[in-house]
Structure 1
Amino acid sequence: MTAYMIAKVKATGDEAELAAYRAQVEATLEPYGGRYLVRGGPVEVLEGDPEPGRIVVVEFPDAESARAWNDSPEYRRIAPLRIHNAESDRLIVTGV
C-alpha cells in the first residue's frame, strides 16, 4: 500500500549546506520508488503553527520502501546536512 514521508522543515543554519542537501536528496529517492508530490512552495495555514516552514511530501510504493530509503547509506550520507541546519518533523504515513 502506498506510503508517504511527510516532513515539516525549518531552516536554522547554513543555507549553503541545506542547498547541497536539496541538490542531492532526489537521487537517493529513485532507487526506492520515491517521488516528490510536494517540495516546498507556498503554504496557507488554516490552523496551527503560523510559520510551518517548508513542507515536503514524498510518495513511496509502501512503508517498507520509505523506511529502506530513510535507512539507506545514500541518504544517511547526506542527512547530516539537513539535521545540522534545520529543525525537522518527519513521519511515514500509510495511505488508504
Structure 2
Amino acid sequence: MTAYALGNLRRPARLDDEVLTYMERVQATLDPFGGRFLVHGAPAREVREGTWDAALVVIAFPSLDHARDWYDSEAYQRLIPMRTRHMTGDVLLIDGVAPGYEAAATAAALRAAQAA
C-alpha cells in the first residue's frame, strides 16, 4: 500500500544556501526507496478553512517500510541537519488508503464499534 512522508515546514524569510544544497541532494536519497515528490513546497493557492503559513511537502513511497528505510537511511540522516538548522516544522510517515477505500464504510464500522 502506498505510504507518504509529509512535511509541514515553516519557511525562513530567506532560504539559506544549506537548505538549497539539501534540496539539490534529497532526490538521490529518495531514489533507492522508490520515493517521489507529489507536492514540494508549492504555495497554498486557496486556503478554504483555517490558516496556512507553511510549505507542504508530500512524498509517495511504495510502502511504509520503504518510507521508514528512506528516513532512517544514512544518506538522508546526513542531510536532515542541513534543513533543520534553518527551518522548523513537522515530518511524519503515514500509510495511504487501500484501493477501493470508502469513507462511508469506515464510518459504518466506527458507528458499529460505538454501539457495541
TM-score by length of 1: 0.90
- RMSD over equivalenced CA pairs, Å: 1.4
- Which runs of 5 or more structure 1 residues have no equivalent in the other structure? none
Aligned to 1:77: 78
Q: Which moved more, 1:41-50 or 1:31-40?
A: 41-50
Q: Distance in 2 between matches of 1:10 and 1:24?
A: 20
Partner Cα separation in structure 1 for residue 52 and residue 61 of structure 2: 29
Match of 1:5?
Answer: 5
Looking at structure 2, the residues matched to 29 and 50 of structure 1 have their Cα atoms a distance apart, in angstroms, of 27
Match runs of 1:20-31 below 5 Å: 20-31=21-32
3-state SS of 1:41 partner: coil
2:114 is aligned to none
| Structure 1 partner of 2:69 | 68
Q: Which has the higher contact order (CA 8 A, sep 6+)?
A: 1
In 2, the alpha carbon distance for the partners of 1:32 and 1:67 equals 9
Q: Percent identity?
A: 41
Count of aligned pairs between the two proteins: 95
Corresponding residue of 2:19 = 18
Assess, with a 3 A threshold, how the Cα gap between structure 1 residues 2 and 82 changes in structure 2: closer, same or farther. Answer: same
Could you say what secondary structure the match of 2:6 adopts?
strand
Query: How much has 1:10 moved relative to structure 2?
Result: 1.2
Per-residue CA distance 1:8-51 (angstroms, 9 max, x = gap): 11123762111111111011000011000111112022223331
Q: Give 1:19's aligned amino acid.
A: L
Alpha-carbon offset, residue 93 of structure 1: 1.5
Within the alignment, does 1:57 sit opposite 2:50 as a pair? no
What secondary structure is seen at the aligned counterpart in 1 of 2:49? coil
